[in-house]
Amino acid sequence: MRTLISTILLISLFSCSESQEIQFRSMVIHTLRPQVLHEWYAEHLGFEPVHKQSLLRDDFTIHFKSPEELMADAPDYRHGFFKIGFLTDEFDDLFESLQQGQVEFLGGIFKDNNLSRRSFLIKDPDGNRIQFFETKEQGGLQPYFLALLTPSIGEAEKWYQMRFPVTKTHNLDLREKKIYIRLLEGEDFAIEIIENNDQVSPRTLGPGFHQFEIGGIGTPFEKDKDGNNIISNL
Q: What is the pLDDT of residue 151?
A: 92
Expressed in angstroms, the distance from the first to the final Cα of the chain is: 32
Q: What is the pLDDT of residue 20?
A: 61
Contact 211, 44 (CB under 8 A): no
Contact 231, 215 (CB under 8 A): no
Geometric angle at alpha carbon 115, from 111 and 117, rounded to 5°: 40
Geometric angle at alpha carbon 144, from 196 and 26, rounded to 5°: 95
Strands (E), the chain: 23-30, 48-51, 54-57, 60-65, 81-88, 104-105, 110-112, 117-123, 129-134, 141-149, 168-171, 180-185, 190-195, 208-215, 229-233
Mean local confidence (pLDDT), 108-124 = 98
Name the β-bridge partners of 147. 83, 192
Q: What is the pLDDT of residue 21?
A: 86
Closest to 202 in 3D by CA, of 79, 71, 69: 79
- Rg from Cα positions in the chain: 19
Confidence label for 204 from pLDDT (cuts 50, 70 and 90): low
Cα–Cα distance for residue pair 119/11, rounded to 1 Å? 38
Q: In Å, how far are 30, 91, 97, 112, 200 from 196, measured between CA atoms?
A: 23, 30, 33, 21, 6
How many CA atoms does the CB half-sphere of 64 hold within 13 Å?
23
Residue 147's φ and ψ, nearest 5 degrees, are -115, 135
Q: In Å, how far are 186, 223, 225 from 14, measured between CA atoms?
A: 17, 25, 26
Whole-model pTM: value is: 0.87
Q: In Å, how far are 6, 202, 216 from 88, measured between CA atoms?
A: 43, 34, 21
Q: Where are the domains of the chain?
A: 29-233
Per CATH, the architecture of 29-233 is what?
Roll (3.10)
Share above pLDDT 70 across residues of the chain, in percent, rounded to a whole number: 82
Q: In Å, how far are 16, 49, 124, 188, 218 from 19, measured between CA atoms?
A: 5, 32, 34, 12, 11
pLDDT, one tens digit per residue, over 35-68 is 999 999 999 999 999 988 999 999 999 999 987 7
Cα–Cα distance for residue pair 196/33, rounded to 1 Å? 29
Highest mean pLDDT, choosing among 5-9, 69-73, 172-176: 172-176
